[in-house]
Each structure stands twice: as structure tokens, then as C-alpha cells.
Chain A
Amino acid sequence: MEVQSLTKSFGKHVAVNDLSFSIEEGHCVALLGANGAGKTTTLEMLASLQKPTKGSVSFLGVEKKDFREDIGYLPQYPVFFSWMNAMEYLVLMGELSGMSKAKAMARADELLELLGIADAKKRKIGGFSGGMKQRLGIAQALIHEPKLLMLDEPVSALDPVGRREILELMKLLKETTTILFSTHILHDAEEVCDDVIMIHKGELAVSGSLSELRRKHQEDVIVIAADENLDAWAGSIESWDVVSKVISANDKVEIYVKSVAEARTQLLAEINEKQLPITSFTVGQTSLEGLFMEVVGR
């Protein structure tokens, strides 16, 4: 899927501005951004629920206005006819996608099984829990075997258990479908996705595969904690060749280093020599959180 300079404005307010990106088949892509960054607007435009003010979308090389046949969409707050049961609802949605009743029923059965709500298929949707509704929402998005599955904040409203289950489910689904999902939680994106697209105030901030972003933006970091204040010492090591940045706060020093091996030896030697009362010495990597904060916070 190729998106070319997609723009949406509501009166004077520009929700999405000149957004271009592409999604490769079979990938799982996260659309990251703070609240109000334009994630939902973008997804709704792709799902033909809103008309873009400008820009075009092409899907598998074809440029059209309406890709609803090929897209399954889970809205941020999925709603259902509470007077229907799960099976009826899925069959209705299947039929609206142009499937025959028999085929829709078979597919609905299969999906309810896959999503783990098969035992609730004859229950009225009105009595479903949040997690079950989310699952049913995913089931209705998948009913017509779309080529692209779009999920708008699929885990944001769930409790930790529900969130874990949905993330596991997404890992399973990404084996067979291309997934585009929006979230404001970087951790979720890192867990299930191959690619991320970060947007800020409706504009594209960063996009690329996770591994590439890690390579570009991730740094090795050594965190040292001690019983006493290390500010003075932290200042003294800032000039070292292997050290790129030192952040010292309270009794903790974060040292961003260019080479872990070298820095570790030097630091350990230094600590030994100065008899610093350290309580922990951790070698690790920055998460993409920093990058995200940088993008969002600027």
C-alpha cells in the first residue's frame, strides 16, 4: 500500500498534513503518535470512512478511492448492535461484505474459534466484556478475509491481561495478514511490529523498520548507581573518548558510550581505583522511547 501526500483538514484545523508512507505486504506496521496526532483520521481515510482533502492511496499498485473490499477495520471504540448475538453480527457483517450466508457462517465459526470466543457465540453482545468486544471487533474486521487489517488502538482500553491476549493474537495474525495498527504506546509497537511510522501533529516524523531505527537511534548505555552522589565523578568522565553523553541524577549516572567493551573495562577499572561505593552496574541499550519522546515532544 502506498500513501501519497494524504491531507485532511477540518476547516482551518489541519488534522493530517501531507502524509506519505508505504506498507509492504506481509508486514506488521505500527502507526505511532501522541493523542491527537492524527492516527485515527489517517486510518479512517484509508478505510474510506473520511474523504481525504488531498492526496491519494494506492493498494497493490491500483489507485482507487475505495478499498473497503480489501480492508478490515477495527475502530478505536468498536460498537455493535447489542441486541444481536455474536454469530448473527458476524454473519451480518459477512453478508454486507458480499459473502453468501452459508460462507459467512462458516467463516464466522472459524473466526470465533480462532479468537477464543466460540463459547459466547449465541450470547447477546450487550453482555460482552471489553476484551470480548475487542475480539469480536477483530473478528468482524477479518470476516471477509481482507488483505490488510487495520486496528485503531486495539489495546489501549484494555486491562493488562486483555492487552497481553490481544498482542499475542496480533502476533498470530501477522503470520497471515498485513497489519497496520495505531497506538500511542511504543512498547506495544516494539513487541509485535516490523515497521513503525511515527507521526506528530499530522505530519510524518520518522518511518522505517524497527531494526533500522534501532541501529540508527539506539545507543549503548551503562547505568551506574551508588550509595553516594556521583555528580562530580560524572563530570570528570565526560571528556573520555568512548563516552558520548553523561546524565547524572541523584545517585545514578547514565553513561552513553560508543563502544560497550572498551567503556566497560575503563569504567570498571576507574571504579576499582577510586573505590566508588556502587550498588549496581548495568549494561544495556536505550529503548526507542527516547526517540519517540524526541519526536513527540519537540
Chain B
Amino acid sequence: MKKWFVLHRKEWLEMTLNYKIIWIPLIFVLFGLMQPITSYYMPEILKNASNLPEGSIIQIPMPTSGEVLTQTMGQFNQIGVLVLVLAFMGIVSSERRSGMIKAILVKPVSYPSYITSKWMSVVLLSAGSVFLGMLASWYYTVLLIGDFPFIDMVKGTLIYFIWILFIVTFTVFLSSFLKSSGFVAAFTLVLSILLSLLTSLFEKWMEWSPAQLTNAAASLFMAGDIEGPLLLPLITTVILTALFLYLATSRKSSV
């Protein structure tokens, strides 16, 4: 266990030195801020940017607070996932390629603790980023658009984070199997897009899909309570996450 913490600390040290610890949360916070601000100022922006004829009236209904939070989540699902996947695609594969993994595993360290220490650092950093981003979005939404219960925001973010947890675990899993970081990113992004797309296209058959968690969080933001499936996707996502983590730790044959 002590060795696990030593490895985990090394991960944080590395993320500090390559500034991942700063720029990943920063991107989330930035996109969190932008959503309520652009929603609020959209009429102004349109007025100034477009050369509409004099006297034309633009009427854009002000979105509700819940809608803004849902849109923020949508941004996170695109740019946020991209950032996380690109940041962590090489977490194992780059050390495998450089041979660093051998230098570590030649010491009496177990492979599962090597992987889980990395996984935990990824999970903590993405959790921090997502929550900070949502917090920023919530703060400006309340300031500019209208009140929204803090507790609902936290609940929705928690549900949404399970989906992110699934994505980053899949990233770590692929990274531990594939030599090329590029493939890791490509496969993970394809999976996340495919799951989201299929879930919205075939809602009836995809009730188990991890991407349903995004829908559940969205309905919590918009309607105040969850309509549609929650328990089923939650269970499959947790099981799939555990499975991928297990698979990531169980491969050792040739380092």
C-alpha cells in the first residue's frame, strides 16, 4: 500500500511538472463560464455582429438555468472528453514505449498497483476538473440568468461524472494494451461518440447505455427530477468500468 502511494505521488508530481494539473481544470472552468455568459449576451452579440437591416427585431428567449447547465454538460461531452482523452491517452502506453514501465516493474511493485495508481490520479483530476467546471457554470448561471438549487447541480454533476469515469477508465484500459497513444485516443473517442449517437437514435434498446447517464443528468437539470432510466445505466456503467479496470490490471505477460 505504501508503494501504491509512492507511485500515486509520482503521478501527481509528473502532472504538476507538465502543467496538466493546471490546464485541464482551466479548460473545464473556461467552458463552464462561457456557456451562461454567451447565453446571456447572445442577443447583444447578434445585434453587434450581424449586419441586419435597421429596425429588425431579434427575439431569442432567454434559456432557463437548467437549460444552460445542460448545454454546459453538452460542451463538456465534446471538448471536455476530447481534452481528457488526449491528456491521458499515453498514461501507460508512453511509459511502455519509452521502457519506463520496465524500470518501475523491475522493482518489487505489483502491476495492478502500478495501473491503479495511475488510474486513480486520472479519476481524481478529471473529477476535480468536471466539478470545478460545473461549479463555475452554476455560479454564473445563478448570477446572470436565474436561481438554481446547488444540490441539484451537485447531484446532476455526480451522475454525469459516472459517464466521464467510464470514459477515462476506458482510456486507461486501452492505454495499457495499445502501444500507440493515437489509437487509444481514436478508439476512445469513437466509442464515446458511437455510444451517445446510438443512445439517442435507439433510445428503446439502449436504456442500459452509459450515455443514458448524460440524459438522466440533463433531465435533472431541466425538469428538477430524473425521468427515464437511471438505475440500469448506472449499474451497467459501474460494471463496465470495473471490468475495464480489471482487464487493464490483469495483463502482465510481456511488459
Q: Which residues of A contact B (CB under 8 A)?
A: 44, 47-51, 66, 68-69, 71, 73, 75, 77-81, 83, 92-93, 95-98, 140, 144
Contact = CB atoms under 8 A, between A and B. Distances in A.
Given A50-B253, A51-B252, A79 B107 contact: no
A112 to B, nearest CB: 18
A80 B14 CA distance: 13
Nearest to A51: B253
B10 interface: yes
Contacts of B223: none
A140 B230 CA distance: 51
B10 A49 contact: no
A51 B236 CA distance: 34
B100 A79 contact: yes
A67 to B, nearest CB: 9
Contacts of A144: 107
Interface residues of B, number: 23
Interface of B: 2-3, 6-7, 10, 14, 17-18, 98-100, 102-109, 252-255
A73 B105 CA distance: 10
B14 A96 contact: no
A68 B255 contact: no
6 contacts: A48-B106, A49-B106, A51-B252, A73-B106, A79-B100, A95-B6
Contacts of B14: 81, 83
A255 B208 CA distance: 85
Nearest to B254: A50
B6, B99, B106 interface centre (most CB from chain A within 10 Å): B106
Contact of B99 (A50, A51, A79, A92): A79
Nearest to A80: B103
Give 3 closest A-B pairs by Cβ, nearest first: A68-B108, A96-B107, A95-B6
B108 A66 contact: yes
Nearest to B17: A83
Contacts of B107: 68, 93, 96-97, 144
B106 A75 contact: yes
A83 B16 CA distance: 11
Nearest to A143: B107
B103 A78 contact: yes
A50 B255 contact: yes
Contacts of A98: 2-3, 108
Contacts of A79: 98-100, 102-103
Given A44-B102, A96-B6, A96-B104, 8 more contacts: A49-B105, A51-B254, A68-B107, A80-B103, A81-B100, A83-B14, A95-B3, A144-B107
